[in-house]
Structure 1
Amino acid sequence: MDRWYDDGRLRYGVGIEDTFIPQIRPGHRKLDEYELTQHYTHWREDLDLVAESGAEFVRWGVPWYLVEPEPGVFDWSWTDQVAEHLSALGVRCIVDLMHYGTPTWLENSFLNAQYPERVAAYGRAVAERYRGVWTDYTPLNEPIVNAEWCGEMGKWPPYLTGVDGFLTVTKALAKGMVRTQQEIAAADPDAVFVHVDAGFRYEGETTPLPRALLEERRFLALDLITGRVDDAHPLRSWLGENGYTDADLAWFADNAVTPDVLGVNYYPAFTTIRMDDDGTKSPVQAGTSGLRDLVQLYSERYRLPIVITETSLVGTPDEKIAWLHESEQEVEVLRADGIPIVGYTWFPFLDLVDWLYRFDDKPVDDWMLDFGLVNLVRGGDQQLARSKNAAFDVYQEIARRHR
């Protein structure tokens, strides 16, 4: 096994936004970030820019709905080219297998009784296809965000709502994560697993769920897959009251998997949430103090090497540069304090399209968010030109310094 995360170094990487929600319905457009940002067209240029930035790794996602257009039928024509080019560039790929969406043929999405085995079979197929080329896998990105959008807010398939919807989707996602890791490990015993979580933080009182519950709920998927939810778990009674049986929890305990690396996502402007008096959520600017708090929480709970798998902000190049310097310094302080942070990821590397695009009919450019070290600028030919901003150069200097 290539245990790159054990050598004590801090590696810098980037990620390309890869949300895929291919299902459409009245008022809900298809959301494929690769399509909207023209990554399918400009992928080679994008990956060349990744290498130019000095990044040692890239979080890059496989579009499951396109790679497996029919159950058990795979089309590797594009991913073969990407894998070959990344290898030629010498950039490690942390393969993002599931970034929210399922193929359109999977009826009822995560509610489908076959979901855990379908996603596991897909993960195994990827690992078998690219064994010796790709070694690092994220079975599913941000399970709690996924459960919120698909199971609590009813925004994405299977469009469930409330506590029951959230917990139903979370259980399905967690089973899929376990089975995917098991199948990939069987196909490639040298595989490295980088599980990625969105670490929410809360300020003040929350409703309808109390803050104490939310602060435990954010860890639920990771606690399930690692077999931590036993009778002493803080959420045990709540889960039982909402349909989690002893058999459910015994399955997770019997099939527990452990990540090699834990990915923690943190955005200084919206990872921290305050609930307003009317029940709406408002983001809170928490800066490096929020980053420190979150990383310490995950480190103390799971005792695993950590990669900051997403961080960035929407703003001017000067604001991005300021966050690059502030977050770099905080990461170094955390490492000096003994927390094993082994990677830092600016995500997204390119600008992205706001997820709210899905629920509107305005042009895509109206929803473009300036997150990137590389901006997307539409020309008269309707192509999105790639334009490095000043933060790109600063990131490049930092990344090269850490090699």
Structure 2
Amino acid sequence: MVHRGCRPHRNEGLTTTVKWYQDGTLHFGLGIEDTFVPQTRAGERALDEYELTEHYENWHGDLQLASDVGAQFIRWGIPWHRVNPAPGEWDWEWVDRVLGRFDELGIRPIIDLLHYGTPLWMQSEFAHPDFARHFADYAVACAERYRDRVTDYTPVNEPMIHARFSGDVAYWPPYLSGERGYNTIALALAEGFVRAQRGIAEVLGERATFVHVDATARFAGDVDGQHRPLVALQRAQSFLVEDLVTGGVDERHDMLGSLRASGVTDDTLAWFASHAVKPDVMGVNYYPRHSTQLMEEGIVHAGGFVDPWPTQDDGVAGLEELLRTYAHRYGAPVMLTETCVTASVEERIAWLDASVASVRGLREGGLDVVGYTWWPLFDMYEWTYRHADTPRSESLLTMGLFDLVESSQGLLRRKNPVADRFRQVATDAAANAPISRTGAAR
């Protein structure tokens, strides 16, 4: 059923003089895994994490769990493929209810507009000639409908992974490959990103806050030997979309030659320079056991994350390096927008403690780190589920504050000790937060 009903009620708590990331506090939040790749073909089934984790049914209680452990914000995604089932048609009923629950609990939503997949009606997905226009229309529709309820948006989550999986290694639709494929998807995402952010800003004005979020790529081992060209390329690729949207691709950019070889014109780059948008907060996703690729002498790497490269756990050293790198490169406050280890409860607690201490140390040293996000609230399912034919239970990743437990009533959420530790650090931070000039808690 398509709904074009009345706009949700106004949330007065969102109208503050000092924005949340400017109040001097380290904010603690959570994410709910929201990867959507709804397209199917032979040997590839739909990947919808909300469906797999039964969040569509359990959203009310899931947000309560986040509130119970002291989350001040939740990174949460709108399923574009569901709310926009056909061109020009919108079904907001489920999203209305979920965002109403955010209001009830007093948790700030930071909305992911694009966490991978596009609607099924959009042929060629990100390579569709009108992708950027359709994406901007969707973003503006969200901003208009929730203008009195939501002010914080991540237009495109992890554009580097989008471009790698969809445009380099042909793992996800539209299955492009190689350097030219990467650039094709990166340019499309960047244009959509710019048009979406500018459209939201027109609706919300100064109230809008944009949290840009990307995955991170570090390299260790044989980085100066046989792998030097590949490492240089992938380092440059990891920044490409954010550099495009912020107007940073010029004659000195490391990707300029590659872009021109892919047919990108000076007029296109001039458009990005003249329409640049900036992050209010630059989000860094860092997983200590996955974010650093180990380059080994004598091993031929095809490139991309599908090629099963070994990784190196650089712990908090890698985290600190990347937060500093993004703060310096983009001149904005930074935020740890995803982190965890997929491991035992004891190992998860150890990483939580170490990473929180590291972030606090950076703040004491003068780096403007404004947020910490444990990802995810409850366990999720590995993306390889899409290419498997096994039950979802065989793809479970133990990452969350709450375990997902199979039962005859569906998936149960069972609290584990990581939740208690997160609640301790989050509530301690909230208790020590300064009072804003408006007196608002949010």
Equivalent-residue separation in structure 2 for 1:112 and 1:314 (angstroms): 35
The Cα offsets for residues 290-342 of structure 1, whole Å up to 9 and x where unpaired, read as 00111111111111011100000111111111011100110011111111000
The Cα offsets for residues 87-116 of structure 1, whole Å up to 9 and x where unpaired, read as 110000000110011000001101111100
Equivalent-residue separation in structure 2 for 1:183 and 1:174 (angstroms): 14
Secondary structure, counterpart of 1:342 in structure 2: strand
Equivalent-residue separation in structure 2 for 1:258 and 1:116 (angstroms): 18
After TM superposition, the structure 1 = structure 2 runs for residues 3-402 of structure 1, keeping only pairs within 5 Å, are: 3-189=19-205, 190-203=207-220, 204-205=222-223, 207=227, 209-276=229-296, 277-279=299-301, 280-381=308-409, 383-402=410-429
Q: 200-209 or 2-11: which moved more?
A: 200-209
Equivalent-residue separation in structure 2 for 1:294 and 1:139 (angstroms): 21
Equivalent-residue separation in structure 2 for 1:209 and 1:234 (angstroms): 12
Equivalent-residue separation in structure 1 for 2:169 and 2:150 (angstroms): 35
Instruction: Note the C-alpha offset of 1:212.
Output: 2.1
Secondary structure, counterpart of 1:43 in structure 2: helix
- Scaled by the length of structure 2, the TM-score of the pair is 0.89
Secondary structure, counterpart of 2:393 in structure 1: helix
Equivalent-residue separation in structure 1 for 2:120 and 2:151 (angstroms): 28
Partner amino acid for 1:392?
A
Instruction: Note the C-alpha offset of 1:234.
Output: 2.5
Secondary structure, counterpart of 1:93 in structure 2: strand
Q: Which runs of 5+ in 1 are unaligned?
A: none
Instruction: Note the C-alpha offset of 1:349.
Output: 1.1
Instruction: Note the C-alpha offset of 1:274.
Output: 1.5
Partner amino acid for 1:212?
A
Instruction: Note the C-alpha offset of 1:213.
Output: 2.4
Equivalent-residue separation in structure 1 for 2:114 and 2:137 (angstroms): 13
The Cα offsets for residues 43-69 of structure 1, whole Å up to 9 and x where unpaired, read as 111000010010100000000000010
Q: Which runs of 5+ in 2 are unaligned?
A: 1-14, 302-307, 431-442
Partner amino acid for 2:95?
T
Q: 335-344 or 233-242: which moved more?
A: 233-242
Q: 257-266 or 204-213: which moved more?
A: 204-213
Query: How many residues are treated as equivalent by the alignment?
Result: 402
Partner amino acid for 1:354?
E
Instruction: Note the C-alpha offset of 1:386.
Output: 0.3
Equivalent-residue separation in structure 2 for 1:128 and 1:39 (angstroms): 25
Which 4+ runs in 1 deviate beyond 6 A? none
Instruction: Note the C-alpha offset of 1:208.
Output: 8.9
